[in-house]
C-alpha cells in the first residue's frame, strides 16, 4: 500500500472512507445504496465475513456459488458513490454492479419488477467533476448480458433501457419540494424524459457508469421498482429479486471471464460459450 498523503489518504494501511485494505475486496463488487441491503445480498452467499463499517459504507466479502464477491454500500447519491468507486478501484475491484431501488416513469413497469440499465442520463453533479457532460454514461455490455441472463434463469420480470440519475430525490425527479416549491423545468422533466423513452429515475448509476468507463472497469445496475410515477403508486418490493439477480450475474460474469481466458480473448461473444 502506498504511503498516506493528503492527495490520497490512508489510515493504518486502509483507504480512508471504506476502511478496507488490499486483499479485503474481491474483483466482483455489488454496490447497494442502503447499508442494510449489504446484509440481504450476503445472506444469499455460501459464506461471508464483515470487512468494515465506516460512515455509510458497509463492506462484506464472501463466496457465492464458488465465486469470491464483495458487497459495499454507497450511500445515497453521486458524491458518495464516486468515493466508493475511487477506493474500490484502488483495492482491485474490476466489476461493480449497482443493486438499488428506482422509480419507473414509463407505463407497463410495475412495482416489484426490475430495471436493468444500459446507460444513464447524467443529471448528477459528481460525474461532471470528472469529465465533460457530453461523455456518455454507459454500462458494460457484458454486465448487462449477465444481468439479463440471471433474470431469465430466475424467472424474474425485468425491463432493459436507459435510466436517469439525479442528485435530488424530490425536485430533481419532478416532485414538489417542501411547501410545494417547484420551478417550470421541474414540471416538464418527467414528461420530457418519458418522451425520450427513459425508463426510470434513480441517483447513482450515472456516476458509477461514468467513473468505471474512465477507470477501465465494468459497471452495471439492476434496480427494484418501488415507485410507479405514471400511476402514482409506491410499494417497497422486489429487493430480494434484485439481490438474487445481481448475485447470479456475478457467477455468470465469472464464467464469461473464464471462457475469455481459455480462448485468449479480451471481449466475450456468444460463440465462446452458452450463457
Looking at the annotation, which residues are catalytic? 17, 87, 175, 229
Q: Which residues contact 246 (CB under 8 A, 6 or more apart)?
A: 30, 41, 97, 99, 147, 150, 222
Q: Are 208 and 217 in contact (CB under 8 A)?
A: no
Length of the chain: 275
Q: Which residues contact 84 (CB under 8 A, 6 or more apart)?
A: 17, 18, 31, 57, 72, 73, 74, 75
Q: Which of 109, 123, 128 lies closest to 174, judged by CA? A: 123
Amino acid at each position: 500500500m502506498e504511503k498516506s498523503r493528503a492527495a490520497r489518504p490512508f489510515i493504518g494501511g486502509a483507504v480512508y472512507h471504506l476502511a478496507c485494505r488490499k486483499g479485503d475486496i474481491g474483483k466482483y463488487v455489488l454496490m447497494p445504496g442502503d447499508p442494510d441491503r449489504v446484509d440481504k445480498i450476503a445472506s444469499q452467499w455460501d459464506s461471508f465475513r464483515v470487512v468494515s463499517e465506516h460512515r455509510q459504507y458497509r463492506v462484506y466479502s464472501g463466496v457465492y456459488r464458488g465465486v469470491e464477491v464483495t458487497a459495499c454500500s454507497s450511500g445515497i447519491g453521486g458524491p458518495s458513490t464516486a468515493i466508493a468507486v475511487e477506493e474500490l478501484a484502488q483495492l482491485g475491484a474490476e466489476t461493480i454492479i449497482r443493486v438499488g431501488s428506482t422509480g419507473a416513469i414509463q407505463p407497463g413497469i410495475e412495482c416489484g419488477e426490475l430495471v436493468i440499465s444500459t446507460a444513464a442520463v447524467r443529471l448528477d453533479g459528481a460525474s461532471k467533476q470528472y469529465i465533460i457532460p457530453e461523455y456518455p454514461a454507459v454500462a458494460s455490455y457484458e454486465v448487462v448480458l449477465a444481468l439479463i441472463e440471471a433474470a431469465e434463469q430466475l424467472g424474474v420480470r425485468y425491463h432493459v433501457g436507459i435510466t436517469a440519475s439525479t442528485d435530488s430525490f424530490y425536485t430533481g425527479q419532478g416532485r414538489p419540494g417542501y411547501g410545494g416549491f417547484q420551478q417550470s423545468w421541474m414540471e416538464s422533466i418527467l414528461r420530457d424524459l418519458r418522451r425520450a423513452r427513459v425508463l426510470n429515475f434513480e441517483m447513482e448509476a450515472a456516476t458509477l457508469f461514468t467513473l468505471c468507463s474512465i477507470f477501465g472497469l465494468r459497471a452495471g445496475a439492476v434496480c427494484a421498482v418501488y415507485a410507479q410515477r405514471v400511476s402514482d403508486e409506491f410499494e417497497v418490493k422486489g429487493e430480494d429479486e434484485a439481490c438474487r439477480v445481481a448475485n447470479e450475474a456475478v457467477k455468470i460474469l465469472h464464467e464469461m471471464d473464464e471462457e475469455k481466458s481459455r480462448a485468449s480473448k479480451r471481449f466475450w461473444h456468444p460463440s465462446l460459450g452458452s450463457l
